[in-house]
Structure 1
Amino acid sequence: MTVHDVKHAASDSARLEAVGGRLSRVDGPAKITGAARYAVEQQLEGLAHAVLVDSTIAAGKVVSIETQAAKAARGVIAVLTPDTIMKLSVASDWFGNPLAPQRTFCPLARDVTYCGQHIAVVIAETFEQAVSAAALVMADYDQAPALVELGDGTAGEIISIEGMTKEWGNAQAALAEAPVHLSAVYNTQRSAHAAIEPHGLIARWEGDRLTIWEPSQWLDGMARTYAEWFGIPFENVRLVSPYIGGGFGSKALALAHSAVAAAAAKMLGRPVKLMLTRSQNFTSYGGRATTRQTIDLGADKAGRIQSIIHRGVSEVSLEGMWVEAVGSITSIMYDTPNFSSRQDVVRLNTVLPNPKRAPGENPSAFGIECAIDELAHELGLDPLEIRLINYAEQDPHAKKAWSTRQLREAFAVGAEAFGWAKRSPAPRSMRAGHQLIGWGVAAGAYPVQRAHGEAVVKIMFDGSVEVESSSIDMGQGTYTILAQTAAETLGVPVSQVSVKLGDSHFARAGVTGGSRLAGIMTGAVHKAASQALDELIGLALSDPRLPFHGLQANTLAVKDGRIGSPRGDGPELSIAELMSMLGRDRIEAKGDTLPAGTTAEERYKNYTTIAMSIPHTEGDYSRHSWCAHFVEVKVDEDFGTVRVSRVVSALDSGRLYNPKLAESQWKGGIIMGIGEALLEEGIVDRRHGRTVNSNFADYMLPTNADIPDIQTISVGIPDPHSSALGGKGVGELGIVGVAPAIANAVFHATGKRVRDLPITLEKLI
């Protein structure tokens, strides 16, 4: 190998390891070899095992619970019911507001509001003993009629969410005057998070100090909840979650089963492990809510939209509130002078829904992107052309400029890569033997959610670097991009950087959700690393024992772990040699992105609530990530079976901190979109309110055989208005718009419009 080859290889390695490089996940080997220890894999002395007993009705009261047989079973330590479990204090919600007027909270229910609600728990020496004894617990109920579906004539209380009403112009009058009208109803069904790793935890008390090992997307927020439940200082709670096997929004909050385990551990004076069964992972916490949207479009004959009227409704539980905001995309995608959108929720006997990947935006895109496709067909326009005709040059609702919006570029690049120009416009006009071929397009967006984070960076005596943060990695690559950020800022190889995450006693971080972690935490690590580097160089220049003494600050730099002149014409030392000469075992810096003058109370609120999140329309710009999906489907003409055969997606997530990981996240979202469009549906027995397909055999998810070639193309440019390093949200974006692109392709293939997801065989034949 020549000197030129060596320099070229070193240059390639530096590009790979820097921010923007395609470095493979640094935590990959640990996960592949099994060295990565997940939260509930801890082995603790004296560990007891808890198994929950759930209600078998959806509405009514628990009259009595027979526990004697269970208590007498081998290995059983205790059986707890609503009457015997300790009462907890009511915790505040994720905004920091009180959840309920009552003063106490019982995590085991006597008043049943959904099927699968926890009513008792058995704790035994082994898991098998707890499972066996739990089967002996018998409950007697006073059952009431259950409200289980949005379409029920007996549906529960309808609540209008006034804060989500959006109005401008005169939508009703403009619709009446428009030459072309379109009105349709679009439905999406209840869907589950279906993460490979089930929910569960280990709880251990040491005096008034509580340690929780639990998969968590928000360690500091969940630690706050535990502290409030048990009335102990926030600092007394430690939550540990080094790795997470999927969350998609479901692992951001401490839930009823969490409280049960922690309460049982306190009552028994020994650590308790509680794992939800696979079936309980469908009923113990909510998935994406069922939604229904009515969309009315008015347009002129050239295809320009004159009016959009949107009415949305989603399901919610009898207790608590979660709104699947189905109007969120509708108001920003297309330019219209007249707009009206309103959102309702309907209370049903269901578990409280949870955020699931792109909550609100995903079903919202299904409605508007199918509707505009229908409008294009009505007018004889190409579905891509009508989107460009109505392209919004600024945020139609906020009336602000986009920070960056590469959606026009996404349409152009995606169409070229897909071969859209070869599309035959008439439905049922493209085929291959018995296969009807359809091509569909849809767009999507996701707001840039911002907040503040902090990180600690340590330059160690041996030249290695440590990064610490209570942020987490649930597969999106946090370990890797933070290592890249620190390595680039400090001028050291990535191999010398170790990242420690998933401990609430580390530097604070907010919730990992809304595709905001990367933008926040790369900024925090960059700031901390910059401070550590400045201190290192300052010490090198100021210490008279060192060869750099008396030089100017800008004459020193660190490259490949060595400090010296950037021009290479002076003395040079490795960081380890420098630290040894300084007599230092470490240089430590904490960096955060909080505004100057932030109070201690504001700092606490920033990390433990979402009350200080920064609106995506704050200031002069409206900030969003954007995407355009081009999809090919093949529909068997005889059997009506649908297969997605090709996907090309062009996406604008700003600057990509690691394109390899970003592409993986995009593809993961697209795969979830395929599942949503063709397979996923939580089926509820109307008679009893029970979820009947609460398992991986009956709840249909896409497998490798269902997924075609997926091509993702980045069209983003750095967006300095959205994050410190120019990135925008990645993880949530990919799913938005996939389902309508598939539905539109199915229409093009068959001539039949399916407005109710999932698109199944019986809806086509």
Structure 2
Amino acid sequence: MSTTETRPGTQADKGYQALGSRRDRADGRLKIQGLAPYAVEKSLENLAYAVVVQSTIPHGKIVNMDTDKARQAPGVLAVYNHESGLTIHPAKTFSSGGAAAQAFLPLQSDKVLWNGQHIALVVAETLEQATEAAALISTEYSGEEAAIHPDDPKAEPESSEATTVSWGEAVPSLAAAEVQVGGVYTTPREYNCPIEPHGCIAHWQNGELTLWEPSQWVGGARQVVSEWMAIDSAKVRVLSPYVGGGFGCKGGIQPHSALACVASRELDRPVKLALTRPQTFTAFGGRPRTHQQLALGATREGQLVSIVHESWNETALEDVHTEPCNSVTPLMYASPNFQSHHKLIHLNTVNPGWMRAPGENPSSFAIEVAMDELASKLKMDPIALRLKNYAEQDPQAGIPWSSRRLKEAYQAGAEAFGWHQRPLEPRTLREGRQLIGWGMASGTYPVRRTPGEAQIVLHGDGSIEVQSSGVDIGTGTYTILAQTAADVLHVPSDSIRVTLGDTRLARAPVAGGSQLANVLTGAVHKTALALRDALITLAVGTPGSPLFQVPPEKIRLADGALRLETQSDTRISLAELLRLSGNEELVAHQDTFGKEAGEEDRDAAASTASMMIPPTEGGVSAHSWSAIFVEVAVDEDFGTVRVRRMVGAFDSGRVYNPKLTESQWIGGMVMGIGQALLEEGMIDSRDGRIMNANLADYLVPVNADIPALETINVGEPDFLATALGGKAVGELGIVGVAAAISNAVWHATGKRIRDLPITQDKLL
């Protein structure tokens, strides 16, 4: 069951499939027919193929690398290593306000910092020749002692003051609390595993570089490439027409792309570099391991009096990625006393990176399992406990919510699930040897906003094209932007062409943080209004037009024409208006920047993180909300866990396209099942090797693992959050799912699992 938001009187009701309609994805047919052009499928003359060689030790130096056999192999054009003199300049990382995913620069020194680091590159006429030659390279190392695991004595925690949150007297209040619960909650290393592995094609021509790159952020990629190569960003063009999944790992351009760029420059020909699936596990990082020690203090009636939270995440030895495990704990519940500290532990690992709902995901796991533990200890219904501690405003910022329909999510989800039939005591429900458990959890994700631009072109034949450098990472940007334009221009949305993923187009921020749909619909809506006004002005000011000198307020757009409101026969088509007025095309370009913003601000929004507006900007706190309900069956003999059904009730504000929104919610719920029950990066303690760096051994959910999933929309337009009233969608779906499954497993078995994934060995 899914609710569909409709707005009476909108063009969505008149067959245009504009905003609010359940229009199919514009790119769907292309993808199922194999016609959608992905970055590494670009066909170029004289294309060379590059293969990366990676280290096999976790820490040390390269003493000798024998490349003679590789250089002499058939078809080999070049072999590069740290002695080749290839210069790659540092780029500003995202954590420092830039756009690079890692500070690491490949082939710049003999240092080895993790097992799987890029240490050489082979370029040949064919992929097979490059692969064969790469296997002929042998490397001698001088090993150094490595810190593989967070409990290594050499791995000292580093405080991250920027993530410290505190108010009241949390520690003494916890000690004095009538009821206390808590424990240690951990999540393992997890990997994004998009179907499309990372790869790119770099092509230097006349001092300029074109890069075909599967990217969530072409503007950021262009900026980083310009820094790597020390050339003006105007000489770099990045194209990403389609992305075969990313889930965060394609948000920042990765170091292998620097190798393709520099090799193309050296060889003066285009170079394709595609990572193998195993290489994607060490060429960039997924979600890092996290550890949270969380304690709740409450009255016997269930009123929270204190929350004390200490956490850390692993990061690279000489790099930084923060997975803020306290991003949800200060927000979800009202507590008069709160204290949270987050730390980083530097290890010999590739720098971790973004993975769906970074921070919010592990944070929600700890607080939502702890709340279930408190409900159990107090013998309260978990929803009743949450309602008792419902935060009517943002507890951390002390300001109102822009909107918070979490109570409505609890109610709608509970009714659809049949929650009122749930017994309080665990091990109460069973079917033969199957123990049945019901669990629930809350979720939230912030509304992040970055200003952006859009351009709409009315071509001479009357066709309409929406243009943006923003990308469609599989979430439906192509579709929603056409619907946005159709909402204003009153033409069928499937007749509007949308062009995306090119840095030569109107500037847009990263497709990450669940922000892009709200950012670009706002920009396209504003641009469409400007085009509409320009058309009306042209119609009333062009001699020979049937609308010449008609008052503008009496003119309407409909079905590719302008017409007199009271006389529909008095009309002129858009194409005829352009011909009559002597225009080959009409272009409208608008943005959502403030009036004081200059070109530097616009460039910064498209290429750095500096212009991102926090969710508390403007005197209200803007977040999306969810309530997840799960039923599991646990085999009493074997300890296997199966999710049998799941209901998610979501407040994402206004839903622009219910079909696409539900798809994103469901996708997050599926990833949450994988996180809860299957996914875990296995690390060899001897040498830091990732032992399951493939899709056979790194387990992700498949169709057989997924039960019936039901989504419910409880949101309403929130114009305090965004221009068109939408809130975050894509990352909300996963938040709280692992906690709900863990809570259901406890309800089935009476065993509390605080360490993900929930595997048989932890239950038997």
* TM-score normalised by the chain length of structure 2: 0.97
1:568 and 1:705, CA in 2 relative to 1: closer, same or farther beyond 3 A?
farther
CA distance in 1, matches of 2:725, 2:382: 32
- Maintained 8 Å contact 2:241/2:502: yes
Contact 2:542–2:580 under 8 Å retained in 1 = no
Alignment correspondent of 1:134:
134
Could you list the structure 1 runs, at least 4 aligned residues long, displaced by more than 4 angstroms after superposition. Answer: 10-13, 95-100, 103-109
The answer as to 2:84 corresponding to 1:84 is: yes
Q: Which residue identity does 1:664 align to in structure 2?
A: S
How far 1:503 moved relative to its partner? Answer: 0.6
Structure-1 residue corresponding to 2:619: 620
How many Å apart are 1:574 and its aligned residue?
2.1
Post-superposition offset of 1:635: 0.5
User: 1:520 and 2:519 equivalent?
Assistant: yes
Match of 1:3 in 2: none
Q: Name the residue aligned to 1:600.
A: 599
Contact in 1 for aligned 2:97/2:610 (Cα 8 Å): no
- The answer as to whether partners of 1:366 and 1:739 remain within 8 angstroms in 2 is yes
Mapped to 2, the partners of 1:644 and 1:16 lie a distance apart of 39
| 1:600 Cα deviation from its structure 2 partner | 1.8
Q: Structure 1 pair 677/282, CA: closer, same or farther in 2 (3 Å)? A: same
Distance in 1 separating the partners of 2:152 and 2:319: 22
Partner of 1:587, secondary structure, is strand
Distance 2:99 2:549 in 1: 61
Find the counterpart in structure 2 of residue 64 from structure 1: 64
- 8 Å CA contact 2:316–2:346 kept in 1: the answer is yes
Distance 1:373 1:105, change over 3 A: closer
* Counterpart residue identity of residue 35, structure 1: L
Distance 2:469 2:43 in 1: 22
Q: Tell me if structure 2 keeps the 8 A contact 1:483–1:498.
A: yes
Residue in 2 that maps onto 1:289? 288
Q: CA deviation at 1:121?
A: 0.7
Q: Which residue of 1 aligns with 2:380?
A: 381
Name the structure 2 match of 1:5.
none
AA matched with 1:68: D
Find the aligned partners of 2:29 and 2:377 in 1 and give their Cα distance: 54
- Equivalent runs, 1:566-605 vs 2, <5 Å: 566-569=565-568, 571-605=570-604
Q: Structure 1: how far apart are the matches of 2:666 and 2:104?
A: 44
User: Deviation at 1:155?
Assistant: 4.4
Q: Could you give the per-residue CA deviations for residues 102-132 of structure 1, whole angstroms, max 9, x where no partner exists? A: x995545521111000000111100001111
For residues 188-587 of structure 1, the aligned pairs below 5 Å read 188-569=187-568, 571-587=570-586
Which region of structure 1 is more displaced relative to structure 2, 39-48 or 573-582?
A: 573-582
Q: Deviations over 1:535-561 (max 9, x none)?
A: 000010112211212211110010122
Alignment of 1:12-91 (within 5 A): 14=14, 17-91=17-91
**Helix, strand or coil for the counterpart of 1:716?**
coil
> Per the alignment, in what secondary structure is the counterpart of residue 172 of structure 2?
helix
Letter in 2 for 1:84: S
Alignment of 1:47-196 (within 5 A): 47-94=47-94, 105-107=105-107, 109-150=109-150, 152-196=151-195
| 2:740 paired with 1:733 | no
Is the CA contact (8 Å cut-off) linking 1:155 and 1:346 kept in structure 2? no
Cα distance in 1, alignment partners of residues 510 and 98 from structure 2: 19
The verdict on how the C-alpha distance between 1:98 and 1:82 changes in structure 2, with shifts beyond 3 A counting, is: farther
Whether the aligned pair in 2 keeps the contact of 1:288 and 1:353 (CA below 8 Å) is yes
CA distance in 2 between partners of 1:545 and 1:192 (Å): 63
Taking a change above 3 Å as real, the CA distance of residues 60 and 104 of structure 1, as seen in their structure-2 partners, is closer
Q: Secondary structure at the match of 1:618?
A: coil
Question: How far 1:368 moved relative to its partner?
Answer: 0.2
Percent identical across equivalent pairs? 51
User: How many equivalent residue pairs?
Assistant: 754
- CA distance in structure 2 between the partners assigned to 1:465 and 1:748 by the alignment: 56
Q: Which amino acid in structure 1 is aligned with residue 471 of structure 2? A: I
Cα distance in 1 for residues equivalent to 2:705 and 2:498:
36
- After superposition, the Cα gap between the structure-2 partners of 1:15 and 1:393, relative to the gap in structure 1 and judged at 3 Å, is farther
Q: CA deviation at 1:493?
A: 1.2
Change beyond 3 A, Cα 1:14–1:149: farther
Deviation string, structure 1 residues 686-723 (Cα, Å, up to 9, x no partner): 01111000000000000000000000000001010111
Structure 1 contact 70–134 (Cα < 8 Å) conserved: yes
Matched residue, 1:638:
637
Structure 2 match to 1:662: 661
Larger CA deviation: 597-606 vs 659-668: 597-606
Deviation at 1:99, TM superposition (A): 10
Residues 677 and 15 of structure 1: is their aligned pair in 2 closer, same or farther, counting only changes over 3 Å? farther
In the TM superposition, what is the alpha-carbon distance from 1:97 to its structure 2 partner? 5.3
Q: Secondary structure at the match of 2:312?
A: strand
For residue 129 of structure 2, what is the amino acid of its counterpart?
A: Q
| Uncovered stretches (5+) of structure 1, i.e. residues with no partner | 1-7
SS in 1 for 2:153: coil
Counterpart code for 2:653:
G
Partner residue of 2:716? 717
Which amino acid letter does the alignment assign opposite residue 34 of structure 2? Answer: G
Which TM-score applies when normalising by structure 1?
A: 0.97
- How many Å separate the matches in 1 of 2:180 and 2:53? 53
The whole-number CA distance in structure 2 between the counterparts of 1:537 and 1:694 is 59
Aligned CA RMSD, in angstroms, stands at: 1.6
Deviations 1:264-305 (A, max 9, x none): 110111110000000011111000010000011100000000
Q: Which moved more, 1:641-650 or 1:253-262?
A: 253-262
Q: Which moved more, 1:279-288 or 1:85-94?
A: 85-94
Aligned-residue offset at 1:761:
0.5
Q: What is the Cα deviation at residue 169 of structure 1?
A: 0.6
Deviations 1:641-686 (A, max 9, x none): 0000000000000001111000000000000000000000000000
SS at match of 1:401: coil
Deviation at 1:252, TM superposition (A): 1.7
Residues 88 and 104, structure 1, Cα contact 8 Å, conserved in 2: no
